[in-house]
Structure 1
């Protein structure tokens, strides 16, 4: 263990910081002092955690990203002061329900594991602000996810095997960022229109064939990423996304754009590459903030009328 790994304050050990140190077990140096508040052992070679870690009653941060853990002891649920738990990029196939006893937890990272399902009780994490379950093997998201009132920052569900999203997700009306990318979704729930605080939605690389009309209620949405789906049309309600800056529709079999897109007056980037559009609404030329319009690999019969005016005022148009 590095000599300076144990940090002290007033001669009292308060932290163990030894990332990428080649450690294969939790150092015994933290077993005795119950004053430890912060442990950062990212990028080591830990294969297990001892049950005695539960004695660290003041521990607020436990970061174990990029180790070799295949399981975590249920005793972790006794760390009543814990606010951040990072278990990403390990070899976990499940997590104990005891983790749901961590009532002060604000950040939970379980990404890049082999987790196939979650035990009941997730909704008990009432203080949780960020939940990362991306890059696992989840087949479904528990409906309890909608009962996390403190979830405000991020919800990462990308790169799993999800075929549906529970309607309860619409109750997360304080959530700012939602990633559903790289799953097997064919539809988004209509309840998504209730996510009033959402500013970024990533649903690219799925199998979406349509968007719910309610998506137009997301007036604060700034980025909408939908590339590589199966969308042939967009709902007219898309014009309700008055705060939208970035719209990525690349790789969809879109045959037309609704006229309502001309109401997206804050749009700066519009990506229409590799769609099936043969014409564009003339009103695109009136979008005052558009900086980039990507039309590559479209089979346009002629150069759309909007291209000239857009280029004249400095918008980059790629054909």
Structure 2
């Protein structure tokens, strides 16, 4: 081909038109290779810019929805930034206590959130889009009005803490079992009658609070939660526990109070890491399994207000780390001899039972600081009571005691002694050794006189002597110079000793139903309120 032919073909090529349509459908004709490249680049840039503009419009649309919602509930800009970049960058959002009634669907676009606090609002439902917040680790929904949860809640697989307490939930979705990274779950104060089997998938849980949700049974799968250290089942309707409860051998605190339990499974004895166990107020619980004695790490055991519990197993004496044992308001008529093994006990509450005597070895409990024996059928105390020299509070009110052992005077650390409503006709002289007493209750007895040693109790602040047979008071009563209140009503007193005027801190003197008609001149009636 000749050079002329090549030139001719080139000119023909250049003369061929490149036809494009603009965005309005009009034809555009551009000649030349260089111009073609320049136009192509321009079209691409224009398309990208247009796409970004459209996307920005879409983005601004959901953001505007959030901003409008925030404005309607007067949520501050500090909490919901009215700035695009800051809104997108939110990782923590606390909009608690704003009386929110709804959440917009667009909340699900805040996908960088790791913590969301919605407590103390008025939310009755959650949008499905809540499931898009897959970076959440903490979600607080307590104190709302939620009656159900969306299935999408199960998408929040990074959650470690979820609080649903104080809502109106009647059931949980099966998808709750997908939240396998949860370590803390609170369901307290809802309306759940049962838990889904999938709850057993939450094997990283360390704390589970199911207080007051009306549960009538637990799924067998509860035994899979072997990392639990705290389980609160207080105030439900449980009548029995699954055997699998015994698999929760990392539990340190278990609260089963205020249920309808009639018995405990033997497997309860496998929970050997328990330090606190509350079984109070189960009105049908009539006995404890021997395996209870395996819980040798227990520090606090509450068995109070079980109206049918009439005896304790001997194995109770194995719980030698106990410091607090609550047995009040049961039907116990005796204590096992093994009770004396609980030498670390600091507080023992037995009031409101039917004990007619105390074992002599009660005196082995030498670390006791509080002993409550109110309202029994006790007619006497063992001498060994005097070995409890660390006692600061001793309640023996409402028994049938006719005398006290001399050893009572060994309890020199007592600050409170209640001997009210017994049948005491006299007090031992050793009562005067209790010089740390600040409250002494002797009302409702048959005392006809007080020992002179009563005047040694110089730290007394209140002294209750009403409803006795006292016809006179010892002169030593005037030594009680810290006394603020003195109750002498319903006695046979006709006069008071002059020394009573030495009670410079006395502000109340009750003399109702006595024969006292004239007060010693030593009493300052401007300071003392005298009730005749």
Once the two structures are TM-superposed, the CA of residue 294 in structure 1 deviates from its matched residue by 0.3
> Are residue 5 (structure 1) and residue 5 (structure 2) matched?
no
Shift of 1:3: 3.7
Confirm or deny: 8 A CA contact 1:133 1:158 kept in the other structure. Answer: yes
CA distance in 2: counterparts of 1:20 and 1:6, whole angstroms: 14
In the TM superposition, what whole-angstrom CA distance separates every residue of 1:208-236 from its partner, at most 9, and x where no partner exists? 10110011111100111111112111000
Partners of 1:6 and 1:17 within 8 A in 2: no
Structure 2 counterpart of 1:223:
300
Shift of the alpha carbon at 1:113?
A: 0.7
**In structure 2, the residue corresponding to 1:178 is in which secondary structure?**
strand
Deviations 1:111-157 (A, max 9, x none): 101111122222211111111112012111111111112112x1111
Matched, 1:157 2:233: yes
Q: Which residue of 2 aligns with 1:107?
A: 184
> 2: CA distance between counterparts of 1:112 and 1:314?
39
Report deviation, 1:309. 3.0
Per-residue CA deviation, residues 164-223 of structure 1 (Å, 9 max, x unaligned), is: 011110111111111111111111111111001111111100021011001111110011
In the other structure, the counterpart of 1:191 is 267
Alignment partner of 1:71 is 2:145: no
SS at match of 2:325: strand
RMSD over equivalenced CA pairs, Å: 1.7
User: 1-side partners of 2:76 and 2:376: how far apart?
Assistant: 57
Cα deviation for residue 30 of structure 1 reads 3.8
**Structure of higher RCO (CA pairs closer than 8 Å, 6+ residues apart):** 1
Distance 1:5 1:301 in 2: 68
Q: What's 2:428 paired with?
A: none
In structure 2, C-alpha distance between the alignment counterparts of 1:18 and 1:112, rounded to whole Å: 22
- Aligned pair 1:299/2:373, yes or no? no
Distance 1:15 1:316 in 2: 50
**TM-score, normalised via structure 1 length:** 0.95
- 1:155 is paired with a residue of what secondary structure? strand
Classify the secondary structure of the residue corresponding to 1:244: coil
User: Are the aligned partners of 1:30 and 1:36 in contact in 2 as well (CA < 8 Å)?
Assistant: no
Alignment correspondent of 1:141: 218
Uncovered stretches (5+) of structure 1, i.e. residues with no partner: none
What is residue 172 of structure 1 aligned with on the other side? 248
Who is 1:116 aligned against?
Answer: 193
Cα distance change on mapping 1:205 and 1:113 into 2, 3 Å: same
Query: For 1:258-298, what per-residue CA distance to the aligned partner results, in whole angstroms no more than 9, with x for missing partners?
Result: 11111111111100000011111222222232110001111
Do 1:170 and 1:192's aligned partners in 2 also have CA atoms closer than 8 Å? yes
Of 250, 271, 287, 2:365 maps to: 287
d(CA) in 1 for partners of 2:171, 2:391? 53
Match of 1:318 among 389, 395, 414: 395
Distance in 2 between the 1:138 and 1:2 partners? 40
Q: Distance in 1 between matches of 2:240 and 2:103?
A: 39
| 1:274 is the counterpart of 2:352 | yes
In 2, Cα distance between equivalents of 1:84 and 1:313: 44
Equivalent-residue separation in structure 2 for 1:136 and 1:161 (angstroms): 9
| Native 8 Å contact 1:179 1:201 kept in 2 | yes
Q: Who is 2:327 aligned against?
A: 249
Task: Return the structure number with greater helix share.
Answer: 2
- In the other structure, the counterpart of 1:265 is 343
Q: Report matched runs for 1:43-62 at 5 Å.
A: 43-62=120-139
SS state of the match for residue 69, structure 1?
A: coil
Counterpart CA distance in 1 for 2:299 and 2:248 is: 17
Q: Structure 2 CA distance, aligned partners of 1:258 and 1:3?
A: 67
Secondary structure (helix, strand or coil) at the match of 2:317 reads helix
Deviations along 1:72-130, one digit per CA (max 9) or x if unpaired, are 00100011111111111101110100000111011111110111112222221111111
Contact 1:2 1:21 in 2 (8 A): no
Q: Distance in 2 between matches of 1:54 and 1:20?
A: 22
Find the aligned partners of 2:80 and 2:183 in 1 and give their Cα distance: 25
Q: Distance in 1 between matches of 2:201 and 2:387?
A: 55
Aligned residue for 1:235? Answer: 313
Are the equivalent residues in 1 in contact too, given 2:370–2:391 (CA < 8 A)? no
TM-score by length of 2: 0.57
SS of the counterpart of 2:90?
strand
Answer whether contact 2:105 2:129 (CA < 8 A) is retained.
no
